[in-house]
Amino acid sequence: MIINEDSCANVASIALVRKLNLSTVKHHKPYRLSWLNECGEVKMTKKVLILFLIGRYSNEELCNMVLIHASLIIESSLAIR
């Protein structure tokens, strides 16, 4: 899962969505991202609502579902206490 407050492209991997058995919805306006993949553009066609907890911090993010291999990336401006 990649959540970046400076970007309009929060993404969750297909593997994560399948592993957690999350429901998806079709993207109302599919588009392509090129910075996410070294092999070219990735098409965003589905979205998923991700609820998460880190200590006492909780949030939910609407993420695009994509085929990626990444670990959890936390934006540096996120303050966890």
Count of residues for the chain? 81
CB 67: neighbour CB atoms within 10 A? 12
pTM over cut 0.75: no
DSSP codes, 44-79: EEEEEEEEEEETTEEEEEEEEEE------B--TT--
- 28-68, pLDDT tens digit by residue? 888 777 666 566 677 788 999 988 888 898 888 888 888 76
